[in-house]
Structure 1
Amino acid sequence: MLSGFILTFTYRDQLPFKGPRPFYQARFARIYPGILLGLALCVPTTLYLLNGSDPSLLTQWYALKNHVILSLGVSLVCQLLLLNAWFPFAAVNQPWNGPSDSVSCEAFFYLMFPLLLRKMLSMRLARLTFACIVFFLIQGLWIAFLQAFLPLSRSGFLVVGLPLTRLFEFVIGIYAAILFHQLREQGVSRHALGIKLVSIALIALTVLGLWRPVSPAFYLASPWFAALILGLALLERPVINVLNRRAFIRLGEASYSLYLIHVPIAYLAYIAGFRQSNGWIAMLFAVVASLLIFTFYEEPLRKRIRTRFSAISRRVGHRDPLSAAFAAPTSKENQA
């Protein structure tokens, strides 16, 4: 959801003129170095599980009992291609770096983003709002269908991890960003509206968190998270300035690395003898490591990849063939 909002805020005015190619290149440079590093950190763990004295760990960590080598190979290929979120099988999405299934979802959202943004910008705001409401209801019906007709071992993953199931959250993030632009372009202060949205959203999310009327919890919570994001964006001055400090910004920048290395580091820490009593050391190490990885690996490699893509584009000497389609005028109608 936040990704949909930020991408729309960043690329809303760029995509119609530059086409989708620079966007796809930037997204690849952003996510793929972390994927490769996370998989590399899992190699020692995988070798340990294949040759260790405790075969139960292979089942506990990687959900593998039979056809171990084949499953590891298929899982590795799927994670390298960012396709693991499309397979509701633990033997595919749990070996190696399990958390990468979220990145697989994100990759699908990135693939769809230029088309979604162009379509949503061409719609009047009232029609777009109605379409988002319908999409929200369709998501609910789809989740209910999965839970009613599939065993929990399958429906659980399809509800939580399948990209199609979670697409609404990305779309509502785009919608919130479009609404933000419309409100801002009116030239009137929306700080008071931002405070109201933040307050109402926090109350609603607190009630839903305590009550949990439906499962999964994210279904009813997603519109309120969108309202929270929109409200925070409308604030003209931070209510609490703590998160604007450089240290917290740096931690936010390194959060992607932390997400992809925390499980591999947890496995390695267990192998090294760390347990619950001293596990905090591994957690602290993961945070420090993520900061170092972002500074000395992720960010430099991202810049190198983007530079290489730019050089290739200059040699090709023409625009993305899809650029003409994305250069079509976007509606200024997005108004009620």
Structure 2
Amino acid sequence: MATLDSGVPAARLDSLTSLRFFAAAVVVLVHLSAELDLPHLIDAAVSLGYVGVAFFFTLSGFVLAWTARPADTARRFYGRRIARIWPAHAAVTALTIPVIYAGGAEPVWGALPFVLTCTHVWIPSPAWHYAFNGPSWSLAAEAFFYALFPVLIRVARRQQQRLRVLAAFTVTMMVVSALAVVAVAPDTTWGFLLYLNPLYRLGEFGLGMLLALAIRRGRRAPWPTWLPATGGACAYLALVLFAPHDSEGEIPRILTDSVLLPFFLAIIAAAASADIRGDRTPLRARSLVALGDRSFALYLIHVPLIKAVHAGVAGQDLGGAAHLALAIGLLGASIVAAHLLYAGVERPAEQRLRRRLAS
């Protein structure tokens, strides 16, 4: 029986577990591109891979709402979330320290308590946002979502007859906030206000929650998963080719996330509906589900691994082909390292913590 992000058995939604691997993989690809000198075509193709984070936030809201139990208490919920994410996060944070020194830098020691408590994204300093392990900034956003979840799910359940109204309100707030920031703030601050800021990213999490409640009430997506996936891939390509760039020469992340979010919701709805109907789809393949189970570990471990290898080859005159081979090798090594982290730390520590917190 597969287990989704909440730790609650949900064998009928294996496809969502598989989708987590693809979201993690595109994040790995964008970081490989940032560290290695890859061919321009590949750099361009993976340059928007950070959208995997938006997919994670949306899927997280869906899964937590889908598996939430009415009799559950906030204390039990918080305990499960701590057991789920903290052991692997703490272990990888410790592993990053020698990697940082190997790269010739100094850890931002003042940020360590905030990193370990998943609060560092609230500190107004880019050095602290990405301190120790860069991807952990999203855990700080998730921790904020978790803190609000018991209240959010209670409100959403009471308003189940008005899910469309809640969804429209959420989208409106996101659009108004984004337009206000774009109109008033310089584009150099958009990254924090509209990408890192948990208050803004709460909208993605909330839409995932509302989608889960709609499906629990009997709504089903009539379209196959491949249809929104293909549409999302086409929209992604259009953004790479035609989207405007900001003053730093990058496509604004708020634009990418906003364009692709509807496709993410449609993909999640289609995959969940197919699993509920019992459809046989490639996403339910055992190997993909296993990779999805290790996606959180992959998301955490890949940057320290990439940076460690990059520090070892820095200064060497490697050609483009060698960098491409190195990138492929690092992708495979990241998956192997993710399995070791999952099997050696994440799962056993979560099980022990759950038993201890339950007692």
TM superposition score category, shorter chain reference = 0.7 to 0.9
CA distance in 2, matches of 1:175, 1:110: 15
Change (3 A) 1:154 1:89: farther
Structure 2, unaligned runs of 5 or more:
1-57, 244-251
Aligned to 2:17: none
Residue in 1 aligned with 2:117? 81
Normalised by the size of structure 1, how large is the TM-score? 0.76
1:141-160 superposed matches below 5 A: 141-160=176-195
Residue of structure 2 equivalent to 1:225? 264
When residues 144 and 310 of structure 1 are mapped into structure 2, their CA distance, relative to the original with a 3 A threshold, is: same
Cα deviations by residue, 1:161-184 (Å, 9 ceiling, x for unpaired) = 111111111111111111101116
Aligned to 1:327: none
Is 1:270 equivalent to 2:270 in the alignment?
no
2:150 is matched with: 114
Q: Which residue of 2 aligns with 1:234?
A: 273
**Taking structure 1 as reference, are residues 284 and 199 closer, same or farther at Cα in structure 2, changes over 3 Å only?**
closer
**Once structures 1 and 2 are overlaid, which stretch shifts more, 35-44 or 140-149?**
140-149
Q: 1:253 aligns with which of 293, 303, 309?
A: 293
Is 1:208–2:235 an aligned residue pair? yes
Greater Rg, structure 1 or structure 2? 1
Partner of 2:90: 36
Moved more, 247-256 or 147-156: 147-156
**8 A Cα contact 1:197 1:227, kept in partner:** no
Unaligned runs of 5+ in 1: 53-57, 59-67, 185-189, 312-336
- Alignment partners' CA distance in 2, 1:76 and 1:148: 35
Please state if 1:7 is matched with 2:64.
yes
SS of the residue corresponding to residue 134 of structure 2 reads: coil
For 2:98, what is the secondary structure of its paired residue? Answer: helix
Paired amino acid for 2:61: G
**Residue aligned with 1:17, SS:** coil
Indicate how the Cα distance of structure 1 residues 179 and 211 shifts in structure 2: closer, same or farther if over 3 A, else same: same
Deviation at 1:204, TM superposition (A): 4.7
Task: Using the TM superposition, give the Cα deviation of residue 266 of structure 1 relative to its aligned residue in structure 2, in angstroms.
Answer: 0.9
Distance 1:203 1:288, change over 3 A: closer
| Equivalent pair of 1:158/1:165 in contact (CA under 8 Å) | yes
Report if the CA contact (8 A) 2:79-2:357 is conserved: yes
Write the deviation string for residues 286-326 of structure 1: whole angstroms up to 9, x where unpaired.
Answer: 21111121112110000011111112xxxxxxxxxxxxxxx
Change (3 A) 1:298 1:199: closer
How far apart in 1 are the matches of 2:284 and 2:270?
A: 17
Alpha-carbon distance between aligned partners in 1 of 2:174 and 2:206, rounded to the nearest angstrom:
12
Q: Distance in 1 between matches of 2:333 and 2:353?
A: 28
One-letter code of the match for 1:272? G
- CA distance in structure 2 between the partners assigned to 1:252 and 1:143 by the alignment: 32
Alignment-mate amino acid for residue 298 of structure 1:
E
Distance in structure 2 (CA, Å) of the matches to 1:308 and 1:108: 24
Q: After TM superposition, give the deviation of residue 259 of structure 1 in Å.
A: 0.6
